[in-house]
């Protein structure tokens, strides 16, 4: 659970020999050691903070290699980061050491439209990748809400997804190969430039989602997809969560997969409507926002199929947008939710859990029971098409009893998710926030294999220590 922290006391300086070697690898102005300058790189969107002893800015793969080798030689902890948009503390340097920022390694290296691929450096922004791909009628599937300011390296580090993952997959499904530096200071290249390839072990998928604990990704070859020429949006309002969840199962059990299928429970709808009226009818206990895309000639077929599946018991209203203005109007309720949550709760614990689609009703019912038992307001929304729920526990950080209740409630939320055959993180990663709960989901013998992999790729344990897995 995130907790805002006071500015930490400056850690001891790095050994002079380590500083000298880092300066030899980089130009002097690209290595910060003053605590006041380093502080900006000691926190991320989790609101946690820890002061690094130095911050390094690399411009090339070879400079990353030199920094890793220097840190490895002196046993200095090393945390890589892009723009720090993650919410799990994955880029907070809790062990001190060096933060390696790749924000200046932001070049688009190559776009090959015929091969549907794009090569870029890890610091390239998702939005810039989308722009470069869009010039050729293509796009990269991951579309997190932070795409305008999150980096490709960060997206790969936590295996980001977004609304359209329901149809097009997450980061792990849309990367062909990587260039990286292991914790041992070895330069590696994984994958290939084709969509088929089974030579060697799949190190690409291993590194995606590993949160910089095994290797530092410096470059990526991304799989691009043809940009749909048409899209249509519909909003379905239901009397209760059960009716909405049953509709989700119907929609996902027919051939026309929507490109987005977003869910809001009744509490989320009420909060959003209180913040900004968007025309959701009274009596709405849950809401689905759906989008279909494709060719203009065939999109109405897809739309009719999804509309038919959305029909059923408990449907209060179903609206289809006829133009861009109406599309914006239908999405307005979802967009009003985040600011409404910030307004009513100074403390918001946003969990990113996933359950099988058919078990969403059990999840939401169970969360309602936990909310009542612990006296903690819980608001749910998320990517219903793949069972990815953003479960928000709202509390007042000035109330010690409430904060204690949040922690107890959170533990039961995780138990509930696992009892429903779910997973504790869908796209936000593990970082610090969920590290101690990983053993609840993954068996000890499997964890031992993962720790052995960590030891092989990062023998001295310098890369992002204390993150992703317990005991590393």
Domain range for 296 is 228-337
pLDDT digits (tens, 9 = 90+) for 75-85: 999 999 999 99
DSSP category for residue 151? B
Give the residue among 330, 317, 331 at the shortest CA–CA distance from 239: 317
Task: Supply the pLDDT for residue 4.
Answer: 46
Residue 18 DSSP SS3:
helix
Q: For the beta carbon of residue 281, count every other beta carbon within 10 angstroms.
A: 10
pLDDT digits (tens, 9 = 90+) for 381-402: 999 999 999 999 988 888 889 8
* Backbone Cα Rg of the chain: 23
The number of domains in the chain is 3
Domain contains 274? yes
- The CATH number of residue 400's host domain is 3.30.70.2740
Domain contains 23? no
Domain contains 402? yes
From residue 447, give the alpha-carbon distance in Å to each of 211, 361, 452, 455, 460: 16, 31, 9, 12, 18
12 alpha-carbon distance from chain centroid? 33
- The CATH number of residue 279's host domain is 3.30.70.2190
179 and 213 in one domain?
yes
- The CATH number of residue 200's host domain is 3.30.465.10
DSSP category for residue 87? S
Residue 129 DSSP SS3:
helix
452 alpha-carbon distance from chain centroid? 25
197 and 116 in one domain?
yes
DSSP string covering 251-295, please?
HHTSSS--SEEEEEEHHHHHHHHHHS---PPTT-SEEEEEEEEE-
Q: For the beta carbon of residue 73, count every other beta carbon within 10 angstroms.
A: 14
Which residues, in sequence order, are bridge partners of residue 98?
A: 54, 78
Task: Supply the pLDDT for residue 346.
Answer: 64
Which of the four pLDDT bands, split at 50, 70 and 90, describes residue 3?
Answer: very low
289 and 187 in one domain?
no
Helices (H), 54-140: 61-74, 126-134
114 and 222 in one domain?
yes
d(CA 29, CA 37): 12
pLDDT digits (tens, 9 = 90+) for 398-418: 888 988 999 999 999 999 999
154 and 185 in one domain?
yes
200 and 160 in one domain?
yes
Which of the four pLDDT bands, split at 50, 70 and 90, describes residue 278?
Answer: confident
DSSP string covering 397-465, please?
TT-HHHHHHHHHHHHHHHHHHHHTT-BS-SSS--TTTTGGGHHHHS-HHHHHHHHHHHHHHSTT--BST
Domain contains 467? no
Final residue in a domain of this structure, among 226, 245, 270:
226
d(CA 24, CA 70): 10
Which of the four pLDDT bands, split at 50, 70 and 90, describes residue 1?
Answer: very low
Give the residue among 365, 246, 237 at the shortest CA–CA distance from 290: 237
When pLDDT is averaged across residues 308-327 and rounded to a whole number, the result is 94
Whether 327 and 233 have beta carbons less than 8 Å apart is answered as: yes
Give the residue among 147, 113, 94, 317 at the shortest CA–CA distance from 224: 113
Domain contains 253? yes
């Amino acid at each position: 659970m995130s907790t805002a922290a006071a500015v930490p006391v400056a850690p001891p300086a790095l050994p002079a020999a380590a500083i000298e070697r880092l300066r030899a690898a980089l130009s002097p102005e690209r290595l910060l050691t003053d605590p006041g300058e380093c502080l900006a790189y000691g926190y991320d969107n989790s609101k946690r903070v820890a002061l690094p002893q130095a911050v390094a800015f690399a411009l090339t793969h070879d400079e990353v290699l030199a920094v890793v080798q220097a840190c490895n030689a002196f046993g200095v902890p090393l945390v890589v980061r892009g723009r720090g948009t993650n919410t799990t503390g994955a880029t907070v340097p809790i062990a001190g050491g060096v933060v390696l920022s790749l924000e200046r390694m932001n070049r688009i290296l190559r776009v090959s439209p015929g091969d549907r691929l794009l090569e870029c450096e890890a610091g390239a922004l998702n939005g810039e990748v989308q722009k470069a791909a869009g010039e050729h009628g293509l796009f990269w599937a991951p579309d997190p809400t932070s795409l305008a300011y999150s980096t490709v390296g960060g997206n790969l580090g936590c295996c980001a997804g977004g609304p359209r993952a329901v149809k097009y997959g997450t980061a792990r499904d849309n990367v062909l190969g990587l260039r990286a530096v292991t914790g041992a200071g070895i330069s590696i290249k994984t994958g290939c430039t084709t969509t088929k390839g089974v030579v060697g072990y799949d190190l690409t998928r291993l590194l995606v989602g590993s949160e910089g604990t095994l290797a530092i990704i410096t470059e990526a070859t991304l799989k691009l997809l043809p940009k749909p020429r048409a899209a249509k949006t519909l909003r379905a309002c239901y009397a209760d969560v059960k009716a909405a969840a049953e509709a989700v199962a119907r929609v996902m059990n027919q051939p026309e997969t929507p490109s987005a299928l977003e869910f809001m429970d009744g509490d989320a709808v009420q909060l959003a409507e209180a913040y900004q009226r968007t025309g959701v009818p009274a009596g709405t206990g849950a809401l689905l926002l759906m989008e279909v895309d494709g060719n203009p000639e065939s999109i109405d077929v897809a739309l009719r199929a999804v509309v038919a599946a959305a029909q059923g018991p408990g449907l209060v209203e179903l609206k289809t947008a006829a133009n861009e203005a109406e599309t914006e109007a239908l999405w307005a309720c979802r967009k009003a939710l985040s600011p409404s949550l910030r307004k009513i709760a100074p403390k918001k614990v946003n969990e990113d859990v996933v359950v099988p689609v058919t078990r969403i009703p059990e999840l939401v019912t169970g969360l309602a029971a936990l909310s009542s038992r612990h006296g903690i307001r819980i608001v749910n929304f998320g990517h219903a098409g793949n069972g990815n729920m953003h479960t928000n526990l709202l509390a007042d950080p000035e109330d010690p009893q409430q904060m204690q209740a949040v922690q107890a409630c959170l533990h039961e939320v995780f138990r509930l998710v696992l009892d429903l055959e779910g997973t504790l993180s869908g796209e936000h990663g593990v970082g610090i926030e969920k590290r101690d709960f990983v053993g609840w989901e993954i068996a000890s013998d499997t964890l031992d294999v993962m720790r052995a992999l960590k030891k092989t790729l990062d023998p001295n344990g310098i890369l992002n220590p204390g993150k992703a897995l317990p005991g590393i």
